[in-house]
Amino acid sequence: MDKSQIARFRDILTKRRDELRRGLNKEEPQDAHDFGRDEGDRANFSQSKEMAFRQKAQDRGLLLQVEAAISRIESGTFGECMNCEQEISINRLNAVPWSRYCITCQELIAERR
């Protein structure tokens, strides 16, 4: 991969990381203790809280992957499969810049689960 491609991915990944961090640092929604809410409101609220919680867990996982990808850029191993050390295809990286594995290894790993 050439330097300009690396620079582009660094840019994408850094922006993504900052976005995720901002999202994760946001205040938690207020608890549904306040008066004036009926049963249905409370149910909706706890549902949306549940969703926000799941979203955050997902974002946290993604943030770790994005940070790991950035540190691979720093150490010069970005774009290499962490399993077989072959280059990950540029199409795959364009779709998912924080990919750790080439498509072949990714499929093998998914099958093993």
Please report whether residue 68 would count as binding Zn ion according to CB under 5 A. Answer: no
77 to 96, contacts with Zn ion by CB under 5 A?
A: 81, 83-84
Number of residues that bind Zn ion (CB under 5 A): 5
For residue 7, state whether it binds Zn ion (rule: CB under 5 A).
no
Q: Is residue 70 involved in binding Zn ion (CB under 5 A)?
A: no
CA atoms within 13 A on the CB side of 51: 6
HSE of 69 in the Cβ direction (CA atoms, 13 Å)? 27
Residue numbers of the site for Zn ion (CB under 5 A)? 81, 83-84, 102, 105
